[in-house]
Structure 1
Amino acid sequence: MPSTENDRLLSEHQPNAVRARLAGPVKASTLPDAVLGGIDGCVTTFAVVSGAFGAGFSPQVALVLGFANLIADGFSMAVSNYEAGQAQLNQIKFAERTEREHIRAVPEGEREEIRQLFQAKGFDGELLEQVVEAISRNPDVWVATMLREEYGLSGAGLSPRRAALTTFAAFLSVGALPLLPYAIPGLESQIQFLTSLGLAGVVFLGIGMLKSIVYGLPAMRSGLRTLIMGTAAAGLAFATGHFAQGLLGG
């Protein structure tokens, strides 16, 4: 590791720097919501385009269906993400109320839970008792510890509204790309579809690679995996549209 990187890490881990960083608010990453919205937006919109092309519909019909799907599905997905976040917050609030009631009703039993939780982490003897005493001295710390250690719950940085808005924005901006060729007049329907296919493929590959780069994972493998999943969804939509047209259209 270069010396400049070592110097930066040492500076960031000085007592004052650590204290300032830990005292700041916890911010949850919006990248998972953006990736989810972007991939789903591109998949569902291009699936509509593929289905319309497979059924032999006109480019105008594909464009109308695509935009209608883009708005409706994007909104639905954002609402679902918001409700999921709210459900998680409600679960945390319910668990917190339960733990506070237990602490009032059976404090020794709750101390025993703290004792066993930290004993499993390797604490023992006098040190273990000091840890139990320190945690149970402050009810807020006590409850927060039980939520994290017993329930595996944490609401740090959780924002259902931010998650919903991020999902909706990514869904619309990325999902609109496969529709662009259909908004260009004068192109043959086959050229429009192939151009839309190319844009969708670039989006799938790019989102998968970006996600992996951010998390320090193999970029090409993730990009190809996302590309394969998106292509499979589009292929299913195309086959379904083509089959339905043949079945119903004669």
Structure 2
Amino acid sequence: MGRIDDAREAFLKKDSQTVLSAHTEKAIHQAIHHEEKHLTSFNLPEIILGGQDGLVNVLGVILGVAAATSSSQIVIVAGLAATFAESISMAAVAYTSKLAEADYYQSEYEREKWEIDHVPTGEKEEIRALYENYGFRGKILEEIIERLTTDKKIWLKVMMEQELKLEPVDRKKILPIAVLVGVSALLGSLIPLLPFFFLSVKPAIIFSLLATAITLFGVGYYKAKKTLGRQLLRQGIEMMVIGMASAMVGYFVGSLFKIPQLP
């Protein structure tokens, strides 16, 4: 783990010794030069996005089909179709959204660069306004403006991060992130579907619901542990209830259009 990860863990555990070691002069200066790695190494949001979406959506589909028919084969076929469609769709959405984010950042970067070249006075005034909001005035403010605008790379970085609140997107990581989301969706989708390979429809529904509920609770619990460090049970129950409520819509829709058994 890096310095930011150590500091995060120390905060969650309220470990004052570890947080001090993460804030030594050496640790801070080493980390600043590798800031981007720390910002992009935490993939929990992508895993939860894909896994939860696949889990809940496919559960809704197979419950709807299971409520409408007593054929495990039909449920499995529908579930597999939904599983692969869901995983591919989630990966594609993750890829295109990240790509759009990268393109938007690049277009704004080019615009800011052009404005610095053509209207430097106005861009300096924007720096002044930004740092006035931080409480700087007078000579200190003018020195900050002078130092920041001497180097165009630093100037651009300040404008992108502090004025536009934009972070660069590493295009090399867009595809791996999309694959991670897709694989997470695939694995999540298989959890509610597996019981139907081994059991008849009615008991499979029960085991599918139990497996999904336990998984959702575990994901919520783990997410709270890694991010909040508290309210673990509450977060687990909350994710479980929301996910199960969403999936149950499929069951009720299937019940409304139940297919009668053939003689």
- Tell me the TM-score normalized by structure 2: 0.87
Partner of 2:210: 198
In structure 1, the residue matched to 2:159 is 146
Q: How far does the alpha carbon of each residue in 1:151-187 deviate from its partner, in whole angstroms, 9 at most, with x for none?
A: 1101266732232111111111122011111111xx3
**1:75 equivalenced with 2:85 (yes/no):** no
Range with greater deviation from structure 2 (214-223 or 67-76)? 214-223
Match of 2:175, SS state, is: helix
Q: CA deviation at 1:82?
A: 1.0
Aligned equivalent of 1:24, options 34, 55, 58: 34
Please list, as runs of the form range in 1=range in 2, the aligned pairs for 1:66-105 lying within 5 A after superposition.
Answer: 66-105=79-118
**Distance across 1 between alignment mates of 2:88 and 2:207:** 26
User: Shift of the alpha carbon at 1:30?
Assistant: 0.9
Who is 1:225 aligned against? 238
Gaps of 5+ in 1: none
Q: Secondary structure at the match of 2:167?
A: coil
Match of 1:176, SS state, is: helix
Aligned to 2:134: 121
Compute the displacement of 1:98 (Å).
0.5
> What is the count of residue pairs matched by the alignment?
244
Tell which deviates more after alignment, 128-137 or 20-29: 20-29
- Alpha-carbon deviations, 1:4-51, whole Å to 9, x = none? 944433332222221111112523221001011111111011111100
**Which residue of 1 is the match for residue 23 of structure 2?**
13
Give the whole-Å Cα distance in 1 for the aligned partners of 2:73 and 2:154: 60
RMSD: 2.0
Using the size of structure 1 for normalisation, the TM-score is 0.91
- The 10-residue stretch of structure 1 (88-97 or 20-29) with the greater mean CA deviation from structure 2: 20-29
Does the CA contact (< 8 Å) of 2:71 and 2:201 recur in 1?
A: yes
Question: 2:69–2:259: 8 Å Cα contact kept in structure 1?
Answer: no
Amino acid at match of 2:164: Y
Amino acid at match of 1:47: G
Q: Is the 8 A contact 2:102 2:169 kept in 1?
A: no
> Does the 8 Å CA contact 1:56/1:242 hold for their aligned counterparts?
no
Name the aligned partner's letter for residue 8 of structure 1: T
- Provide the rounded CA distance (Å) in 1 between the counterparts of 2:62 and 2:259: 17
Name stretches of at least 5 consecutive residues in structure 2 with no aligned partner: 1-9
CA distance in 1, matches of 2:203, 2:15: 50
Equivalent position SS for 1:26: helix
Q: Contact conserved, 2:102 with 2:170, CA < 8 A, in 1?
A: no
Does the CA-based 8 Å contact 2:62-2:75 persist in structure 1? yes
Amino acid at match of 1:118: Y
Q: Distance in 2 between matches of 1:115 and 1:57?
A: 70
In structure 2, how many angstroms separate the alpha carbons of the residues matched to 1:54 and 1:189? 9
Deviations 1:201-243 (A, max 9, x none): 1111111111111102411111111111111122110111121
With 124-133 and 218-227 compared, the bigger mean Cα shift is at: 218-227
| Structure 2 counterpart SS, 1:245 | coil
SS of equivalent residue, structure 1 residue 123: coil
Report the identity percentage.
27
Counterparts of 1:142 and 1:63, CA distance in 2:
57
Q: Structure 2 residue aligned with 1:176, among 177, 180, 190?
A: 190
Instruction: Write the distance in 1 (CA, Å) between the matches of 2:233 and 2:123.
Output: 49
Which residue does 1:39 correspond to in 2?
Answer: 52
Query: 1:8–1:227: structure 2 CA closer, same or farther, 3 Å change rule?
Result: closer
- After superposition, the Cα gap between the structure-2 partners of 1:5 and 1:239, relative to the gap in structure 1 and judged at 3 Å, is closer
For residues 175 and 99 of structure 1, what CA distance do their matches in structure 2 show?
43
Q: What's the offset of the Cα at 1:91? A: 0.9
Taking a change above 3 Å as real, the CA distance of residues 148 and 22 of structure 1, as seen in their structure-2 partners, is: same
Contact 1:205 1:226 in 2 (8 A): yes
